[in-house]
Structure 1
Amino acid sequence: MDNNTVTEKIIGAAIEVHKALGPGLLESAYQECLYFELKSLGLEVRKKISLPIIYKDLKLNHGYRIDLLVENKIVIELKTVEAFTDVYTAQILTYMKLGNYPLGLLLNFHTKLLKNGIKRFIHTP
């Protein structure tokens, strides 16, 4: 399945979750429900993926945690915030760089319409 098709499925599933639950819950609630929806669509999904930090010859195993990783190529970072900030952009770009993942979706479930809380990122090594 190509990246655009997978991305469309992810966004559709996220919209489904948001329509059912609305804004105002914790990130963990949306994460579990989105995980369920994506698995129901037959996608390979892993949650809370640890990403070690490698600095020269030093490996720090307690680096970052990706909220969801779909098809081993699309990073999903979930937020429940008033608005995206540059820190959230930097966070997802760092995850993508550390794991060498080509695509990322930043999803903010604290919006009236989820379509206003979606940012797509592309990483080219």
Structure 2
Amino acid sequence: MPQKAQRLISKAQISVPSVIKKVSEMPSYPHSDLTSKIIGLGIKVHKELGSAYEEKVYQRALYLELQRSGLKFEREKEIAVNYGKVRIGKKKLDFIVDGKIVVEIKKVDNIDNVHIAQVASYLKTLGLEIGLILNFGKSKLEIKRVKV
């Protein structure tokens, strides 16, 4: 290992094996590069706006950031709610990014099982694997990946 790298590691008081172990313990998610980009945009919105606004404000701000990023996305995508083969309703989800990732914006005290179930049902209906819940209701953006 180069001396400069060794000095940086010793200054940071970490060992290379511990860093490698932490990275290897991280769960693997489909489309992790894309979800990381979306999360980065969410963090940018949260840093700018904080946690004081209603959900719609964060949705609009993330819309602007997604546009600027050049990512392909759909906003307020309407999906059918079926009972058997009969359509009984419809639901609008906040975003689908690149046809792969469902993104739901929340402004709640905590992400709860009901929010996870909501995104999981969207994923199953659309035949997708991964979704994100971005909760702007805390001092730090709360993020939950949902995988089906």
Structure-1-length-normalised TM-score: 0.89
Cα distance in 2 between the residues matched to 1:110 and 1:33: 15
Give the deviation of 1:5 after TM superposition: 1.3
Match of 2:111 in 1: 84
Distance between the aligned counterparts of 2:130 and 2:111, measured in 1?
Answer: 18
* 1:86 shift after superposition: 1.4
In structure 1, the residue matched to 2:4 is none
- Aligned pair count? 119
2:138 to 111, 119, 122: 111
TM-superposed CA distance for 1:59, in Å, is 2.0
* Secondary structure of 1:25 counterpart: coil
SS at 2:124's partner residue?
Answer: helix
Residues 35-89 of structure 1, C-alpha deviation per residue, up to 9 Å, x if partnerless? 11112111011111111022222123x3211111100110011110111221111
| 2:143 matches 1:122 | no
Distance (Å, rounded) in 2 between the aligned partners of 1:89 and 1:118: 11
**Where do 5+ consecutive residues of structure 2 fail to align?**
1-29
Distance 2:32 2:114 in 1: 26
Q: What's 1:29 paired with?
A: 57
Contact 1:24 / 1:80 at 8 angstroms: preserved in 2? no
CA offset at residue 11 of structure 1? 0.4
Q: Going by fraction, where is helix more abundant, 1 or 2?
A: 2
Q: Give the fraction of aligned pairs with identical amino acids, expressed as a percent.
A: 36
Instruction: Please give the alpha-carbon distance, in whole angstroms, between the structure 2 residues aligned to 1:65 and 1:32.
Output: 15
Larger Rg: 2
What RMSD over aligned residues (CA atoms) do the two structures have, in Å? 1.3
Gaps of 5+ in 1: none
